[in-house]
Chain A
Amino acid sequence: MSSQDPIRNDPDSALSPAQLRVQALLRSTEAPAAREDFRIRLRQRFSSGDFEVGEDLRSSGAARPSPAPRSRWKLRYGVPLAAAAAVVLMFSLWNPGTTWEVMSVAANTAHVNLDGEEFSCDDLSLIQAALHPGCKIEVPEGGQIEILDQGKLVLQLNGSVAVTLPSLPFRWFGSTLESVFTGRGTLRVATAEQFAGTRYRLRSAGVDLEVTGTTFAVIQTEDETCICVLDGEVVATLPDGSKRSVSGGRRLTIRRASGQIEEGEMHPEERSQLRELRMRTDHIS
């Protein structure tokens, strides 16, 4: 690269008058504006962090270009789909999944926060009654709580971990539980026998995890996210979109600032902690 090259320093100086006129016209136009309802919906999701992968925020009822053969599409697929949706709705109404159960709270845990409201651990039934789909649970520094989520998986929240509870799945169909892990600390997860046929997605800073049956821990610090897997397999989706599989006995550490990945044996401390959790979970089944 030469700083003496006049065209390099000012590439527009090499343009013809016709090209300069086009350039001026381009630059005189304002940026295209987005539909306001789309902007508002996306803003709400971005600020709250309540993103659903694949969700269509564009559909709003506002005028949007729609494909021409829509009416035929409705006739061919719309009626069967509506009927199928009605059947699914009936199943879900007749057969709601089980809800949540507080399994244990460490002695040094005086309270937990549910959706920002403080609940004393003196009366666990009040905490249990307040748990609901999408509820955000926060455990104070040094505290620990274990929750049996819908009879399918055990979530053990340690330290300053905050986790949102998944929504209720359909019991009779394979379903996906999804929750979000924020804060700093260790979240341990073990799947119960009833988990079979279910997927669990855990979104955390910089990495998304998906499991179909396993015991694992996610340790989130200021700089790193570490995944330790005792048994089964965890598929991690990294910030760049690539996927890594972490199998039993292994560890994956992601340094969030640099994106650097480190793989190795799982931490010995996590091995013993997860074994204990696995044993307690096996007793549920």
Chain B
Amino acid sequence: MSSEKDPTHSDGVVVPGNGGSAPQAARSSASELAPPSREELLRVRDREEAALGRFFDRYFSHVYGLVRRLLRDETLAEDATQEVFLKVHRAIDRLDPERDPAPWLTTIAYNVCRDRWRSSADKMDRQSSSIEDQPGLSNRLGDSRSTPEEDALAHERQRLVQEAISRLPEPQREVVVLHDYEGMTHDEIAQMVGASHAAIRKRYSRALNALADLLKETLG
């Protein structure tokens, strides 16, 4: 990624995913593909319709995947994804053609999700559930092991993992999603969310413990 030269964008936001300890396998799909060329990004910045379409195709799954994992359900995720692309469209003049836009999009998407966590609607939803309230989750995951079709098993596993992640408190959920799916290091996450490295490490460890408890059946 071109962001390796400089850990910040011109607007001062943290550029995630520039190496460090997170394994390459954990990088998001957007990071695995080569970024668009400078010429292509200039066309995007000039709001050429075809270039905007290609930009959308290139990054939609990345944005939606991140937002869907950070938020609790599909409806919230679609709302937030729409808001992310609206913000991107409005700020497209600020797109730096010399850099991979993926970290910029990650920051916008994270900020949109954070704003939604702070909204009263999501707070009400949050109060109604906790990890301890979900005794049946790991059992259901265990039952799915007997499903013969591999695809169905993988789909069910994905659904239950997502459900387990959504049960985590937001501070833990964001660390898991940003580290394990976006490939950000703990230092990068600490800068993005405004916490210390030690706090992030603790949150990540607690999140894995909580998920281990929720998913113990499938983990054997």
Contact = CB atoms under 8 A, between A and B. Distances in A.
B56 A23 contact: no
Interface in A1-44: 1, 7-12, 14-15, 18-19, 21-23, 25-35, 38-39, 42-43
Interface string B127-169: 0000000000000000000000000001001100110010000
Going nearest first, the 3 A-B pairs with the smallest beta carbon separation are: A31-B65, A47-B53, A19-B208
Interface residues of A, number: 50
Nearest to A208: B90
B187 A29 contact: no
Interface in B43-102: 47, 49-50, 52-53, 56-57, 60-62, 64-65, 68-69, 73-75, 77-79, 81-82, 85-94
B80 to A, nearest CB: 11
Contacts of B78: 34-35, 38, 57-58
Interface stretch (A79-87, A117-125, A255-263): A255-263
Interface in B161-209: 161-162, 165, 176, 180-181, 185-187, 197, 201, 204-205, 208-209
A38 B88 CA distance: 17
A15 to B, nearest CB: 7
Interface string A132-163: 00000000000000000000000000000000
B113 interface: no
Interface string B1-30: 000000000110000000001010110110
Contacts, number: 153
Nearest to B210: A22
A244 B55 CA distance: 31
Given A25-B218, A47-B49, 19 more contacts: A1-B187, A11-B21, A11-B201, A12-B21, A22-B219, A25-B161, A26-B181, A26-B211, A29-B157, A29-B162, A31-B65, A32-B158, A34-B60, A34-B77, A58-B82, A64-B74, A208-B90, A239-B87, A239-B94
A43 B208 contact: no
A71 interface: no
Interface of A: 1, 7-12, 14-15, 18-19, 21-23, 25-35, 38-39, 42-43, 45-49, 51, 53, 57-58, 64-65, 182, 203, 205-206, 208, 239, 256-259
Contacts of B49: 47-49
A258 B8 CA distance: 13
16 contacts: A7-B201, A14-B205, A19-B208, A22-B219, A25-B161, A25-B218, A26-B161, A26-B180, A32-B64, A38-B78, A42-B60, A42-B81, A58-B78, A64-B75, A182-B47, A206-B94
A23 B208 contact: yes
Contact of A21 (B60, B89, B212): B212
Interface residues of B, number: 63
A19 B219 CA distance: 10
A22 B208 contact: yes
A11 B204 contact: yes
